[in-house]
Amino acid sequence: MHFRIQVIAVADDGPEQLHEIANVSRDEPTLGTLGLTLEESKQILQQLQHTIVDKQVAGYLDQQRACPACGKPRQLKQSEPAPFHTLFGLIPVPNPRWRHCACQAHTTTTFRPLAALLPERTSPELLYLETKWAALLPYGVTAKLLHEVLPIDHQHSTATVRNHTLAAARRSEEGLGDERAVFVAGCQAEWDRLPIPAGPLSVGVDGGIVRARRDPTGDTTAHLFEVIAGKSILAFRRNDPDDVPPSSKCFALVRSVDPKPKRRLFELLDAQGMQANQQVTFFTDGGETVRTLPAYLHPEAEHLLDWFHLTMKITVLQQCARGLAKPTAVQPDADTADDVSLERCLGSVKHYLWHGNSASALDRLEGVADALEGWGGDEAGAPPPPRNEAAARMRKYVRELATYIANNAPYIVNYGERYRNGERISTSFTESAINQVVSKRMVKRQQMQWTPEGAHLLLQVRTQVLNDDWEATFRTWYPGFRPVPTSVTPALLAA
Ligand SMILES: [Zn+2]
């Protein structure tokens, strides 16, 4: 059997034009030959795109040909096609040069009318899909996938995908307002007059480290840079039905290159409808830079140390305690009470912290550190043998945890009571925001090394994709992009 695939172009005033775009032949059908192959679909799509784009551009040029002042057609100086990159192939479009009409004065003698229609040479559909995929997958994988399923230009490389993604991110960054030290506006009397706010807003902010591209100067400290990521969870909106899940939005930034970290976080909360009379709680991981970010964003916000981060640190110590070489291995007569009490002590540190009692937690940690000091030594206090490096390391971790708790004491609250009252004690029980937003695209692929700027820009696209906002951003740049509902009528369904 033979299939001829044609397109009929119907002009607004009626005339129709038929274009052959492809021929498909099939012998006896088998499971392997039924329907179109991927390769055939790519060729058909490319031919179809070519036909439609060509007609649209020709129609546009026809409309523009007459001089807007006197109506005389402008003279053609020269015509050669220009490349237009689309999701369905590289399409050569007519790109004539016309002489300006002599009826008016002009600074140039000729111009290209296509420049007004196509100020960019890549279609938004292509730009959208490649940047969206690149936010979720490595640049190289994105390029491979696009080539696999679509007839895009064979020269569209990993570098093209990266450049387009970073350019789109820069464009999005230009839309961000100015940085300020304080975002709280108004006074109590004004806030009291605000409408009843939506449910409590919980905002988690974490810091993480990303490995940087090797610096030619050999400066080792430049190999790592700090990334801050967070998410904001709105418990409910007043008019939403009960079964609507809480709205959650994320943000991320690279501290060393972001001139507007507070503005970025403020815009995220503003987009979720934050009001000055709303209950807002910031949960941070306890890091210095992370803790200062949400200051002065909301008049009455609570600032808490995130329970997930606190309890993770104790879990790590408990694992260390279990892994310690037991003194009984070399002292068969010794009591095993030491290691038992280590774990028990750490358990009570956690218990005190759960109830917001950081002073008692610090006392207990001091006891753990003391126990570790003589770990494995005999009763005469002989120096610990080399096998107790693990104990020394754990002792260091215990000291670090004590410093961490002391620094964050004002933000350690009675988590148990909050929990019983049904209030949030963490924004993430299973994963940190850093892991969800940053690590899955960046840290785990160790062979990929980032520049701080490249990482920051990619994160701006990634967070908008994760927040389901990227398409809306494109709509602000390209009016008419992806109208809803779609303008395609399936012929078979319409018949
Ligand atoms: Zn004229």
Joined together, the tokens standing for residue 347 give 């358990």
Distance in Å, CA 95 to ligand 1 centroid: 21
Nearby residues of 446 by Cβ (< 8 Å), 6 or more positions away: 211
> Which of 94, 120, 146 is the endpoint of a domain?
120
> Which whole number is the average pLDDT over 315-319?
89
pLDDT value, residue 495? 46
pLDDT value, residue 325? 57
Distance in Å, CA 378 to ligand 1 centroid: 104
Distance in Å, CA 53 to ligand 1 centroid: 28
- In this prediction, residue 41 has a pLDDT band, given cuts at 50, 70 and 90, of very high
- Same-domain status, 292 and 440: yes
Distance in Å, CA 477 to ligand 1 centroid: 33
Q: Is the pLDDT confidence value at 333 over 50? A: no
- Same-domain status, 112 and 207: no
pLDDT value, residue 298? 81
Distance in Å, CA 66 to ligand 1 centroid: 8
> Which whole number is the average pLDDT over 179-190?
78
pLDDT value, residue 380? 57
- Same-domain status, 226 and 297: yes
Spatial distance between the Cα atoms of 260 and 257, rounded to a whole number of angstroms: 9
Distance in Å, CA 113 to ligand 1 centroid: 15
- Same-domain status, 290 and 347: no
> Which of 89, 120, 151 is the endpoint of a domain?
120
Distance in Å, CA 12 to ligand 1 centroid: 26
Q: What is the pTM of this model?
A: 0.86
pLDDT value, residue 381? 56
Distance in Å, CA 204 to ligand 1 centroid: 63
| Domain region containing 250 | 188-306+426-450
> Which whole number is the average pLDDT over 345-359?
94
Give the orientation angle of helix 158-174 with respect to helix 124-136, to 10 degrees: 100
pLDDT value, residue 12? 86
pLDDT value, residue 328? 45
> Which whole number is the average pLDDT over 110-139?
95
Distance in Å, CA 103 to ligand 1 centroid: 4
- Same-domain status, 113 and 24: yes
Buried b / exposed e along 480-495 (16+ C-beta atoms within 10 A) = ebeeeeeeeeeeeeee
Joined together, the tokens standing for residue 78 give 């020269």
Which of the two residues, 301 and 113, has the higher pLDDT score? 113
Under DSSP, is residue 25 helix (H, G, I), strand (E, B) or coil? strand
137-146, 168-177, 178-187, 340-349, range with the lowest pLDDT: 178-187
Distance in Å, CA 64 to ligand 1 centroid: 12
- Say if CB 61 and CB 96 are below 8 A apart: yes
Distance in Å, CA 67 to ligand 1 centroid: 5
In-domain check, residue 278: yes
- Same-domain status, 288 and 216: yes
In-domain check, residue 417: no
pLDDT value, residue 332? 44
- Tell me the sheet residues that pair with 280: 201
- In this prediction, residue 386 has a pLDDT band, given cuts at 50, 70 and 90, of low
Query: Beta-carbon neighbour count of residue 186 at 10 Å?
Result: 11
Among 143-152, 183-192, 341-350, 377-386, the range with the most confident prediction by mean pLDDT is: 143-152
Distance in Å, CA 94 to ligand 1 centroid: 23
> Which of 409, 436, 461 is the endpoint of a domain?
409
Q: Is the pLDDT confidence value at 340 over 60? A: no
In-domain check, residue 36: yes
DSSP 43-65: HHHHHHHHHHHHHHHHHHHHHH-
- In this prediction, residue 384 has a pLDDT band, given cuts at 50, 70 and 90, of low
pLDDT value, residue 286? 87
Spatial distance between the Cα atoms of 113 and 94, rounded to a whole number of angstroms: 10
Q: Which helix (H) or strand (E) holds 98?
A: strand 89-99
Where do we find the tokens 């995908």?
161
Q: Is the pLDDT confidence value at 490 over 80? A: no
Nearest to 124 by CA among 484, 480, 485: 480
Residues 78-95: tens digit of each pLDDT: 888 999 999 999 999 999
Distance in Å, CA 105 to ligand 1 centroid: 10
% of the chain residues with pLDDT over 70:
88
Residues 234-243: tens digit of each pLDDT: 888 777 777 7
% of the chain residues with pLDDT over 90:
55
Which of the two residues, 445 and 266, has the higher pLDDT score? 266
In-domain check, residue 482: no
- Same-domain status, 280 and 365: no
pLDDT value, residue 378? 55
Distance in Å, CA 100 to ligand 1 centroid: 8
Q: What are phi and psi of 143, to 5 degrees?
A: -60, -45
Distance in Å, CA 74 to ligand 1 centroid: 8
DSSP 221-250: GGGEEEEEEEEEEE---TTS-TTSPPEEEE
Distance in Å, CA 104 to ligand 1 centroid: 6
CATH number of the structural domain spanning residue 202: 3.30.420
- Say if CB 229 and CB 204 are below 8 A apart: no
Q: Is the pLDDT confidence value at 217 over 70? A: no
- The DSSP symbol for 15 reads -
The mean pLDDT of the chain is 86
Number of compact structural domains in the chain: 3
224-234 vs 16-25, strand pairing mode: unpaired
Which of the two residues, 283 and 493, has the higher pLDDT score? 283
- In this prediction, residue 443 has a pLDDT band, given cuts at 50, 70 and 90, of low
- Same-domain status, 274 and 355: no
- Same-domain status, 226 and 286: yes
Distance in Å, CA 109 to ligand 1 centroid: 13
Q: Is the pLDDT confidence value at 293 over 90? A: no
> Which whole number is the average pLDDT over 264-292?
86
Distance in Å, CA 115 to ligand 1 centroid: 20
